[in-house]
Amino acid sequence: MSGTPDDPELEGIELDLFVEAMRRRHGYDFGQYAPASLLRRVRQLAKDFGDGAISALTHRLLHEPGLLPELLEGLSVPASDMFRDPSVFRALREQVLPLLASYPQITIWQAGCAHGEEVYSLAILLEEAGLYERSQIFATDLSAKALERAREGIYPLHTAQQWSRNYLAAGGNHSLADYYSARYGLLKLDRRLRRHVTFAQHSLVADAVFCEAQLVLCRNVLIYFCNPLQQRCLALFRDSLVRGGFLCLGLRERPDAAEAAADFAPVDASLRIYRRIDPAAGERRP
Amino acid sequence: MTRPAAIVLGCSAGGPEALKTVLGGLDPRLPQVVLVCCHTGSETVELLCELLARASSLPVIEAAEREPARGGVVQVAPAGYHLLVERDLHFTLSTDPRVNLVRPSIDVLFASAAAAWRDALVGVVLSGANADGAGGLRELRRLGGCAIVQSPDGALASAMPQAAIDRAGADHCVSLDAIAPLLNRLCLP
């Protein structure tokens, strides 16, 4: 048997068994991931690591522990772009950083950092605002392999043109080229940008609050989660943020139905930038 | 044949013009879910929705994550995100890598819609300059859905409908003007 099973029901069973095997064998629970996109990723892995049958992939998952990092990489947040959605980074630069400047020490958590494109974008914003020396960025991801890539800060050079345009559209003061060197078709970011970044493995499904942050960035990660897990993450972000701290989600995300949304007030709803409020203390969404 | 519960349409170059014709000809009483995936160079589909709404007999809005796929309204895949339909008929968005060099990809929408609606789905491939949609239409037919392809001869860009015919085949290959009447006939009780 290879390729897509004839019957979507059968494939559904195979997906369930894969999720169950991942949870019981390795302790990673994908049961609250949105099934349609999870299925696409698992199908892709089944092709990359076998003949396309999910059940064959499950067999390997059970019997070859060495495969786990590869599988986690394929199941976690996809790569982003530097300054993706420049209007968001412009708003961070113009509206959020000036307020963060009032804190003696700035802690930022980017959850689901993938290959680090947006972490380094943040580092550049902070650098240009003169705030980087008193900033600490925690960049977390489920996948150790993704974190390895993020730490390296090396990307295909063909992305540079688009990223430079994004950087300028986000209000960049210089040229993005000031922050990287190009060689052998690769773009290598200045290692100095990494000096206040801590990369760490963290699971939004299972792990708890680990820092007190003034800004949490988590863009295009919750779109992969079902409602209860989305709710868990928003509660986690709320509990990680100082009162008045900022939350930045992806441009097409809809947190409004989640219970924890009541603890956030929009700063710019269309850009999905919010501030933590405390409804118990009489603070209300405007 | 099962009466369709949903219609999915895919197109790229020449797509907005073709969509205006199709959506303008739909019977406003159609109860079906109508989903559109159209490749545009723009960063949002706001203008596309406005343009289509002016021509369409049904309201046209952008599809939003976690929303149910509703009937009586045309929902358009947002720019930069794959649009997927869950089995429980809610939308999921994804920023997974481009498929066929595009995001949103018609293949991704069609394949997930096919798994959700099976034989109660009609897929329509219109004008376009690449081969996206052919794989999705093939999957849709495999699961019992009905495939309509705009006749490549009259399409502004023929590559997409031609690829769909070559790789998926079609239950109906008709001129642009004939698509809306055909959908009305297939979809109205």
Q: Quick: pLDDT tens for B52-85.
A: 999 999 999 999 999 999 999 999 999 999 999 9
Chain A residues with CB-CB distance to B108 below 8 A: 40
Over the stretch A47-68, which tens digit does the pLDDT of each residue have?
A: 999 999 999 999 999 999 999 9
Is the backbone of residue A32 left (phi > 0), alpha (psi -120 to 50) or beta?
alpha
Region A265-283 average pLDDT: 92
How far apart CA A122 and CA A139 sit, in angstroms, is: 11
Q: Where are the domains of chain A?
A: 8-75, 86-281
What's this model's pTM, rounded to 2 decimal places?
A: 0.95
* Residue B189, pLDDT score: 85
Q: Which of A11, A41, A252 is facing B65, going by the closest CB pair? A: A252
Chain B residues with CB-CB distance to A250 below 8 A: 95
* Residue B2, pLDDT score: 82
Find out whether A229 and A257 touch, Cβ atoms under 8 Å: no
A166 in contact with B, Cβ within 8 Å: no
Q: Which of B91, B93, B117 to mutate to test the interface with A (most CBs of A within 10 A)?
A: B93
Minimal Cα–Cα distance from B59 to chain A, Å?
20
| Interchain CB distance below 8 Å, B78 and A35 | no
ipTM above 0.90, yes or no: yes
- Going by pLDDT thresholds of 50, 70 and 90, the confidence category of residue A1 is very low
Q: Which of B64, B94, B142 is facing A37, going by the closest CB pair? A: B94
- Going by pLDDT thresholds of 50, 70 and 90, the confidence category of residue B187 is very high
Region A94-118 average pLDDT: 97
Residue B47 clears pLDDT 70, i.e. is over it: yes
Residue A5 clears pLDDT 70, i.e. is over it: no
Better-scored residue on pLDDT, A79 or B107: B107
Chain B residues with CB-CB distance to A220 below 8 A: 95
| Interchain CB distance below 8 Å, B118 and A37 | no
Is B166 noted as a catalytic residue in this protein?
A: no
Give me chain A's average pLDDT, please.
95
How far apart CA A266 and CA A268 sit, in angstroms, is: 5
Q: In this predicted structure, which of A164-178, A271-285, B107-121 has the lowest mean pLDDT?
A: A271-285
* Residue A2, pLDDT score: 42
| Interchain CB distance below 8 Å, B95 and A223 | yes
How far apart CA A217 and CA A233 sit, in angstroms, is: 12
B112 in contact with A, Cβ within 8 Å: yes
| Interchain CB distance below 8 Å, B95 and A220 | yes
Give me chain B's average pLDDT, please.
97
| Interchain CB distance below 8 Å, A257 and B66 | yes
Residue A4 clears pLDDT 70, i.e. is over it: no
* Residue A196, pLDDT score: 98
Please state which CATH number belongs to domain A86-281: 3.40.50.150
Q: Which of B64, B96, B142 is facing A254, going by the closest CB pair? A: B64
Window 125-154 of A, Cβ < 8 Å to B: none
Chain B residues with CB-CB distance to A223 below 8 A: 65, 81, 92-95
Q: Which of B46, B61, B65, B118 to mutate to test the interface with A (most CBs of A within 10 A)?
A: B65
| Percent of chain A at pLDDT exceeding 70 | 98
Better-scored residue on pLDDT, A280 or A113: A113
Find the catalytic residue in B82, B105, B127, B132: B132
Region B101-114 average pLDDT: 97
DSSP result, chain A: --SS-S-HHHHHHHHHHHHHHHHHHH----TTB-HHHHHHHHHHHHHHTSSS-HHHHHHHHHH-GGGHHHHHHHHSPPP--TTSSHHHHHHIIIIIHHHHTTSSSEEEEEES-TTSHHHHHHHHHHHHTT-GGGEEEEEEES-HHHHHHHHHTEEEGGGHHHHHHHHHHTT-SS-GGGGEEEETTEEEE-GGGGTTEEEEE--TTT------EEEEEE-SSGGGB-HHHHHHHHHHHHHHEEEEEEEEE-TT---TTSGGGGGEEEEEGGGTEEEE--GGGT----
A8 in contact with B, Cβ within 8 Å: yes
Is B12 noted as a catalytic residue in this protein?
A: yes
- Going by pLDDT thresholds of 50, 70 and 90, the confidence category of residue B6 is very high
Over the stretch A177-221, which tens digit does the pLDDT of each residue have?
A: 999 999 999 999 999 999 999 999 999 999 999 999 999 999 999
B84 in contact with A, Cβ within 8 Å: yes
How far apart CA A113 and CA A220 sit, in angstroms, is: 10
Residue A284 clears pLDDT 90, i.e. is over it: no
